[in-house]
Structure 1
């Protein structure tokens, strides 16, 4: 018997809440460049499959088996399994696609759109978050960040995001299963994703809803993130946003090669030396994008063999200012939550 799928319907209107208000408000002179990072959701590797890897996994009929990846978060071990989306082709056949870079960028565009209360719907009690959008809105947002995609590419990305299935497990116990963009419906039109100006609405994953409810969100410079060409540079930048909160001219942040290897799913070169070069390239890009002033790489050896490397990064004044603004937004949010009588669980949450 086929598994019964429960499809949720979007609410008619957003319910007023302090949590969603705080999600949509930023401490910045240029709020157009600000968005929200959600660490627990960002920590799940989702966009690591390349086109070449996908092509290799496809059968002669265009289908592909799910891909599984082991990763760590907050010193705990997890497994993510991604079942690819089957997208209908022009000849009527179906081909498997895994979420990749374009889907990553579209997700960031949708989260930015969500920060405008005109297009977001958040229900605190049900822990549901919906976003209204058009393909044209996504295209405009990507173009503004110099990440232009065609309507065909955006339509394809939305199809992949709504049809792939991501499963997160710990010790073989399933913790969560769903699409990146769930319960997608077209509002007021029969054509499914056919019109660039037709409105659509989709539900975002539970991790994002819970993080909004508990104020486990972090404002960051979306413009800088989207400017990064290297996917690993974007991953490291997100890491710094969440973990280097007290950046200053007198402080630095350390991370190891092994931690990036275990957490990111983006170091897939055959040789460690090539993977370390990839990290250096990403750090060089973050220097060029104004996030880092400098960095050092210190190799750890056992005899002649390099077993790890430690990277020490120092921030620019611009990044320091942005983190201070994010800290103020966090503290202001906590005060508003307390004043409203909300019980907020401290950050540092995990999937276990």
Structure 2
């Protein structure tokens, strides 16, 4: 009898990236990127605006200096919980740090790793990307697949930051986006009524998807295209405001 051959283990292949539809860059709701809020006080009061909630979360509250003070041996940071109120509702932001490679002054990996919470630098990067998304045809809102974000270059992002008085190197930008795409955040509430539906929101990194250029090639390819998706709260907001404004 032939000896039974062991079954080959199935190879898990990465999920293919689904291209953004052309009309996702052209829809009316992209105008909502301009301020992410309603036009009038009355409209603002009647909308459940998740970006209003997103921007109310103390998600960048701890500076790099303070992070160094609480860092544990091995470069680790504890899961951070920050209590706050949004429209009188008690909430807790649960922030999980991003673990990234340590690099020397020349940009070479040292084979060590360290953890960071998103902080002031990452906040500047996020807001700069949101401003860029307001300028067609960079930003997109893909309603069927519930995703929003933009396609950009590091050179354009640097220009936007510099115009706001926040110059950064390519490596600073790349590390900041690593932190945003690896650091996770979710919300908890002690309110049994859960009026915001917090328990129905899925946990997510600050940037759920990031596609770009390897760090070693950053300065060689400043015009290379990058792709980023915004946090689901941002997409949820655009969807809700769009449905109210354009589907009367």
After TM superposition, the score normalised by the length of structure 1 is 0.53
Q: Does 1:138 align with 2:151?
A: no
Match of 2:115 among 96, 99, 102: 96
Q: Does 1:177 align with 2:198?
A: no
Counting only pairs closer than 5 Å after superposition, residues 30-179 of structure 1 correspond to structure 2 as: 38-90=51-103, 91-171=110-190, 173=199, 175-179=201-205
Q: 1:25 to 1:79 in 2, by over 3 A?
A: closer
Q: 1:49 to 1:25 in 2, by over 3 A?
A: closer
Q: How far apart are 1:185 and its partner, in Å?
A: 1.3
| Contact kept? 2:174, 2:215, Cα under 8 Å | no
Segments of 5+ residues of structure 1 without an aligned counterpart are 27-36, 217-332, 344-352
Q: 1:79 to 1:7 in 2, by over 3 A?
A: farther
Q: How far apart are 1:155 and its partner, in Å?
A: 1.3
Q: CA RMSD in A?
A: 3.0
CA distance in 2, matches of 1:25, 1:132: 19
Larger RCO, structure (CA 8 Å, separation 6 or more):
2
CA distance in 2, matches of 1:84, 1:193: 26
Q: 1:24 to 1:77 in 2, by over 3 A?
A: closer
Q: Does 1:208 align with 2:234?
A: yes
Q: 1:25 to 1:40 in 2, by over 3 A?
A: closer
Equivalence for 2:225: 199
Moved more, 175-184 or 69-78: 175-184
After TM superposition, the score normalised by the length of structure 2 is 0.73
Segments of 5+ residues of structure 2 without an aligned counterpart are 1-13, 37-49, 104-109, 192-198
Q: 1:55 to 1:111 in 2, by over 3 A?
A: same
CA distance in 1, matches of 2:91, 2:17: 28
Q: What do residues 227-280 of structure 1 show as CA deviations (whole Å, max 9, x unaligned)?
A: xxxxxxxxxxxxxxxxxxxxxxxxxxxxxxxxxxxxxxxxxxxxxxxxxxxxxx
| Contact kept? 2:206, 2:230, Cα under 8 Å | yes
Q: 1:89 to 1:131 in 2, by over 3 A?
A: same
Q: How far apart are 1:10 and its partner, in Å?
A: 4.7
Equivalence for 1:19: 29
CA distance in 2, matches of 1:121, 1:166: 23
CA distance in 1, matches of 2:97, 2:155: 25
Q: How far apart are 1:203 and its partner, in Å?
A: 0.9
